[in-house]
Amino acid sequence: MPKTIAIIGAGLGGLTLARVLRTHGIAATIYESEASATTRTQGGLLDIHEETGQVALRAAGLYDEFLALVRPGEDAKRVVDRHGTILFDMPGDPESARPEVDRGELRRLLIDSLAPETIRWAHKLASVRRRVAGGYELAFVEGSFARADIVIGADGAWSKVRPLLAPAKPVYSGTCFIEIALSAVGQDGRAGVAAIGSGTLMAVAPGKGIIAHRYADGRVRGYVALNKPEEWMKSISFGDPSAGLRQVAAEFDGWSPLLTAFVTESDAEPWLRPIYALPVGFEWDRVSGVTLVGDAAHLMSPFAGEGANLAMYDGADLAAELVEQSDTEAALTAYEQRLFPRSSDAASRSAQNLEVFFGREAPHSVVTLFDRDHRFV
């Protein structure tokens, strides 16, 4: 009898895993806590790396469709200081080996590539336990249950599957993000938007930054970054969004008004997002029938540009092992033996780059980083 496979989470890693399995005639069921594919927005742009994300999309048979989503030239990057003085300016490359795509569009591509019954929406995992008779029982918040022989945690930072493997929990990095956006730019804001250039603007200083991306249609999305203790995060309130954003903007006293306007004029719902990470080098001992992909396995800050790429690569790599090996444990072991070193390397670079961006030498440390390797993010 074929083994049943449960994938927890319909992020890019879980979707890629299910898609590659499907191309080889292997069924899997994804259990996702969100009510539908459109429940929430999926963030901004991703640069898809040739050696990881693109490899996964080829394995999924979706590479040509991915190319149709590429946004040529939107990989431009500009670094400025607190006064708006340009320190580094890299134009977009229409032939970039790491092209930019919208995360939401990429996720939709993967979802649409699956049979409709593959994803069980509105199934938030409450617990998972091993059955005496073998396999696992999944309990969901809404009261339903399911059983599976193989359980794969693709459920992100606060994975409910991870505790089956190890007690490690994500740790606050000391940096938090507040989302910002300008969906419509008035006359007063045009100079600020022009200051972005044609791609991403990074205005950084020790302990803080304003990062904004200009889309081809004129929209602006990004985030404020602040190095703050957890106690500060408890003190900030966005019950009144405008007042909360003014409180955030006060952290940038003395900065160019062209930059602080991205905060004060933002019309996005200002979500506060602390940046958490798992320990660099996080591993676990083999547990029968269970493994992890993506952030559940190697949560890190976004400053290596690897999170989404590794998640997709994890999914494709794991699927290949499950396809090629009849012995499930041998497949999971082989997958994890490659997973651990690649995720440790990326997590180490991510932690280092977070310090580069908001450490004592910013913004000049960021310029040095781009001069050395402008592809890092």
Per-residue DSSP letter, 187: G
Question: In this model, does residue 165 exceed pLDDT 80?
Answer: yes
What CATH number did the domain enclosing 145 receive?
3.50.50.60
Residues whose CB falls within 8 Å of the CB of residue 143, separated by 6 or more in sequence, listed in order: none
pLDDT in tens, 33-81: 999 998 877 667 899 999 999 999 999 999 999 999 998 878 899 999 9
Residue 367 within any structural domain of the chain: no
Which of 55-69, 84-98, 185-199, 236-250 has the least mean pLDDT?
A: 185-199
Q: Do 197 and 344 fall into the same domain? A: no
Q: Do 284 and 197 fall into the same domain? A: no
Q: Do 305 and 250 fall into the same domain? A: no
Tokens of residue 372, six digits: 């050395």
Question: In this model, does residue 351 exceed pLDDT 60?
Answer: yes
Q: In this predicted structure, what is the pLDDT of residue 186?
A: 58
Q: In this predicted structure, what is the pLDDT of residue 304?
A: 85
* Dist CA 178 CA 315 (whole Å): 29
Question: In this model, does residue 197 exceed pLDDT 70?
Answer: yes
The residue from 236, 261, 276 where one domain ends is 276
The residue from 276, 308, 341 where one domain ends is 276
Strand partners, 260: none
Range of the domain at 290: 5-72+96-170+278-356
Percent residues over pLDDT 90 in the chain: 78
Per-residue DSSP letter, 189: G
* Dist CA 318 CA 338 (whole Å): 10
Which of 23-27, 204-208, 278-282, 368-372 has the least mean pLDDT?
A: 368-372
Q: In this predicted structure, what is the pLDDT of residue 66?
A: 97
Percent residues over pLDDT 70 in the chain: 96
pLDDT in tens, 261-292: 999 999 888 889 999 999 999 999 999 999 99
CB 233 within 8 A of CB 274: yes
Average pLDDT, integer, range 87-102: 90
CA-to-CA separations, 133 to 147, 160, 162, 326, 371, in angstroms, rounded = 11, 22, 22, 21, 58
Q: Do 162 and 218 fall into the same domain? A: no
CB 15 within 8 A of CB 316: no
Q: How far is CA 344 from the centre of its chain?
A: 16
**CA angle (177, 182, 187) in 5-degree steps:** 140
Mean pLDDT is highest, among 64-73, 202-211, 299-308, for: 202-211
| Residue 102, H or E segment | strand 100-102
The residue from 259, 276, 293 where one domain ends is 276
Q: How far apart are the first and last CA of the chain?
A: 45
Q: What are residue 300's phi and psi, to 5 degrees?
A: -150, 170
Q: Do 217 and 316 fall into the same domain? A: no
Strand pairing category for 150-153 and 5-8: parallel
Residues whose CB falls within 8 Å of the CB of residue 204, separated by 6 or more in sequence, listed in order: 79, 210, 211, 225, 357, 358, 362, 363, 366
Q: Do 119 and 243 fall into the same domain? A: no
Stronger pLDDT, 216 or 80, i.e. the higher one: 80
Question: Count of domains in the chain?
Answer: 2
Q: Do 126 and 194 fall into the same domain? A: no
DSSP string, 222-264: EEEEEE--HHHHHH---SSHHHHHHHHHGGGTTS-HHHHHHHH
Q: What are residue 89's phi and psi, to 5 degrees?
A: -145, 105
pTM given for the model? 0.94
Average pLDDT, integer, range 251-268: 93
pLDDT in tens, 316-326: 999 999 999 99
Stronger pLDDT, 86 or 184, i.e. the higher one: 86
